[in-house]
Structures are given as C-alpha cells and as structure tokens.
Structure 1
Amino acid sequence: MIVRKIVTVVEEILTEGGRAVSPAARVAIVAAVIENPWAGQGFVEDLSSGIEDNASPLGELLAPKVIEALGAEAQAYGKAAIVGLNGEIEHGSGLIHTLKFGDHFRKAANATTLLPAVEKRGPAGIVFDIPLKHITDATIRSHHQTVEVRIADAPHPDEIVIALAAAAQGRPQQRLAPLTTEQ
C-alpha cells in the first residue's frame, strides 16, 4: 500500500437553527490518499489479491486516527471510497466493502452495525458526502446525517481516497420522532 498523504478534518458545530449546541457537535474525518493497487493493469477480473494486501492495513491505519481526532466516543459512523478517473468504482468498493477493512472501525467504535458508504469516481477536488448512521442501531433517526468532504488535490487519476468519518452525537437540534412512532 502506497499512501501519498493522510488528511484529517474535525468539524464542531456551535449553533444550529439560531440556537447554541452544547456540547458542540463534533464530526471527524480521516482520509488516506493511496495509489490504486490496480492502476495500469487494465480490467482485472479477480480483485482479491489487492483487497487482501490493502483492505486490512487501511482499516488498521484509519480507524484509530478517526477516533482519536473525534476526541470522544463515536455514536455514528460512515466510510467512503473515491476513485480517480483511471480507476473503477469497483476498486474502491473492493477495499471498503470487506470485513477486513470495516471490522477495524467497528472494533475501535464499539459498533455492531454495517458502515454506510459512498463510492464514486471523480477528479481531484471532487466533493463527496459520507453518510453516517448510529453505531449499534441503524434505525435511530437522530444519527442519520452526512458530512461533506473535499480534498483539493485528490484523487489523482491513479489514486483512491479512502475515508472514515465519526460523529460524537446525532444531528444538532434533531427533533424527529423515533421511527417506532410510525410503525
């Protein structure tokens, strides 16, 4: 795995809807910009060796960093794979849609649910949204949220951005009724 850089972003929302948010709503994102392990190979029928070599090390690298950046226990989380223009969306999906990757984050966050994800292909500087869900119950509406990310110089055409995001709470000022009220 060749990592060009790691980007960490921490967002704190102090007011929402004209009212103070206390404590501040924190979201952390940690992204690794890596060389696409399948770059320059044309169509690769079997992605398993690249997944085996890279997915677990990526999860092991990013999971503790996002929890550390958050500075609190994670209550919501998500993941992303943004593939450069010379790659396939399947390349990013292969790296993040495996327990070899996701279990590192689940363990670090004391989570049990599947990680919501975004995968897309695009040029350097593309904006992408990482969806977040509650770490133990994906039906908890207050924790359904997204965080917008942009890395100005990534991904290069033969790179992939792999990112994890965690929130220390649900949406600021959330006030939707629980899903159970509609069942």
Structure 2
Amino acid sequence: MNVRKTVTVVEEVRVEGERAVSPPATVAVVAAVIRNPWAGQGFVEDLGPGIDANASDLGALLAPAVLEELGAPAEAYGKAAIVGLDGEIEHGSALIHTLAFGDHFRKAADATTLLPAVEKRGAAGIVFDIPLKHVTDATIRSHHQTVEVRIADAPHPEEIVIALAAAAQGRPQQRLAAFSTERDPSA
C-alpha cells in the first residue's frame, strides 16, 4: 500500500434551521490518497492480488482513525473510492467492496449493516458526497445523510482516494417519522 497522504475533515453543525444543535452534530471523514495498485498495467483481469495487498491494510488504517476523530460512538457510517482519471471505477470498488476492508470499520463501530458507498472517477479536486446510514438499522431515516468532501490535489491520474466517514448522530433537527409508521400508499 503506497499512501501519499491522509486527509481528515471534522464537521460540527451548531445551528440548523435557525435553531441551536446541542450537542453539535459531528461528522468525521478520514481519507487516504494511495497509488492505484493497477496503474500502468492496462486492463487487469484478476484484481485479487491488488485487493489482497491493499484492502485490509486500508481498512486497518482508516477505521480507527475516523472513529478517533469523531470522538464519540458512530451511529452512522459510509465509505468512498474516488479513482484518478487513468484508473477504472472497478479499481476503487475492488478495494472497498471487500470484507477485508469493510469489516475493520464494522467491528470498530459495532456495526451490522452494509456500508453505503460512493465510487466515481475524477480529476484532482473533485467534490464527492459520502452517503451515511445507521450502523445497525438501515431503515432509520434520521441517519440517512451525506457528507461532502474535496481534496484539492487528489486523486492524481494514477491514484485512488479511499475514505471512511462516521457520524455521532442522525441529521441535525431530524423529524421524519420512522419507515414503519408511514401509511402504505396502496391501502
């Protein structure tokens, strides 16, 4: 795993809808900017060796770091893979859609749900939104949210940005009813 740098973003929302949010709604993101393990190789049929060499180490690096930055138990979480222009979206997907990567975060967060994800290709400085969902119940509406991220100089064409995000709560001032209380429109 060739990490050029890591980037941390911590957002604290203190006012939403002209009302105080107390305690502040906190979301943390930790991203690693890595060299694409398949860069310069043309089309690679078997991504397995690159996955084996990188996915678990990335999860082990990012999972404890994002929870430490959050400073509270995670209630919502998500992940991202942003591939530089010389790579394939499949390269990012290969790294984040494995148990070797995701289980580090699930175990550290005491989570049971699938990690929602964004994957895309783009130039350095691309803006991307990481979707978040509740760590144990994906139907809890209050925790369906996104966090916007931008790294000014990444990804380079032969890099991938791999990021994890965690929230200590649902959306600030959330007030939608639970899915189970919604009336069936076919009734």
The corresponding residue for 1:72 is 72
Amino acid at match of 1:141: R
The corresponding residue for 1:175 is 175
C-alpha distance in structure 1 between counterparts of 2:135 and 2:70, whole Å: 14
C-alpha distance in structure 2 between counterparts of 1:114 and 1:52, whole Å: 21
Structure 1 residues 9-158: aligned runs within 5 Å: 9-158=9-158
C-alpha distance in structure 2 between counterparts of 1:108 and 1:89, whole Å: 27
Task: Tell me how far 1:23 sits from its aligned partner.
Answer: 0.3
Task: Report Cα offsets for 1:117-174 as digits up to 9, x if no partner.
Answer: 0000000000000000000000000000000000000000000000000000000000
Gapped regions of structure 2 (runs ≥ 5): none
Amino acid at match of 1:81: A
Gapped regions of structure 1 (runs ≥ 5): none
| Dislocated runs of 4+, deviation >2 Å | none
Partner of 2:61, secondary structure, is: helix
**Percentage of matched positions with identical amino acids:** 83
Q: How many residues align?
A: 183
Task: Tell me how far 1:181 sits from its aligned partner.
Answer: 1.1
C-alpha distance in structure 1 between counterparts of 2:181 and 2:89, whole Å: 38
Amino acid at match of 1:121: R
C-alpha distance in structure 1 between counterparts of 2:112 and 2:52, whole Å: 23
C-alpha distance in structure 2 between counterparts of 1:28 and 1:91, whole Å: 24
Task: Tell me how far 1:86 sits from its aligned partner.
Answer: 0.1
